[in-house]
Amino acid sequence: MKNTLKFYSKIYDPLFDKAYTKTANRGEPALRKFQELINKNNLEIKNVIDVGCAWGRTLRYWKKMGVKATGVDVSKKVVLKNKRKGYECHLASATDLSIFKDKKFDLYMATDVYEHLRTEDLSCAIEEAKRITKKYFLIRPHPTLDKRGRRNIREALHLTVWSIEKWQDFFEDHDLEITKIGEDGEITYKNVFLLKITGE
């Protein structure tokens, strides 16, 4: 694990003062698709961790489904807000989830998070994800520059910009098996990968 909280908090905590962060809800379409897979394959999901949970929309979704959900974010603002809403939420970075025991969660989620990590931090993040997760991973990496067009690395929000194919290779290189969740056997649905540890 690698303590990167201070680095990422400095970049991303100020974003949560912006109005556009309060309206985005990129996780729900993928969650609806995942719910279809749960129903179709009788997947048992009792607890979920959402890394990069932002304002807690995914936490609300799982609560409605009767599933225990835990949020993690690098922004103190959103962690406090989610706690005031009654959600379990922790201040932590994706690269250091040492506050959680091994194999604690059935599902690990990270929606629009991995592209915000430095390339050199990605392996640490996915290994931490594997450590705390028993069954499934639902990860949505965005494969382009952030919409505001920042090209100066000091201003960029998407710190790792890879193609979907490169993300696929990355997950497979870390012993994660990709479940086809899109139409006609596509490996992703709205850039979302459904993964599980190889052999499980």
Strands 133-140 and 193-197: antiparallel
Mean pLDDT of 158-168: 93
Options 3.30.1360.120, 3.30.930.10, 3.40.50.150, 1.10.357.10; CATH of 5-197? 3.40.50.150
- Averaged over 176-183, what is the pLDDT? 84
Distances 47 to 105, 130, 175, 182 between C-alpha atoms, Å? 5, 15, 22, 24
Domain boundaries, the chain: 5-197
Residue 23: pLDDT band (50, 70, 90) is low
pTM: 0.90
CA separation for the pair 54, 39 (Å, rounded): 27
What pairs with residue 70 in β-bridges? Answer: 49, 88
The pLDDT value given to residue 136: 92
Residue carrying the six token digits 């790792």: 160
Kindly report, residue by residue over 44-81, the tens digit of the pLDDT: 899 999 999 999 999 999 999 899 999 999 999 999 99
Number of H helices, E strands in the chain: 6, 7
Complete edge-to-edge strand list for the sheet that includes strand 193-197: 88-91, 68-73, 47-51, 105-111, 133-140, 193-197, 176-179
State pLDDT tens for residues 138-157. 999 988 877 655 544 445 78
**177-181 contacts at long range (C-beta below 8 A, 24 or more positions apart):** 179/37, 181/33, 181/34, 181/37
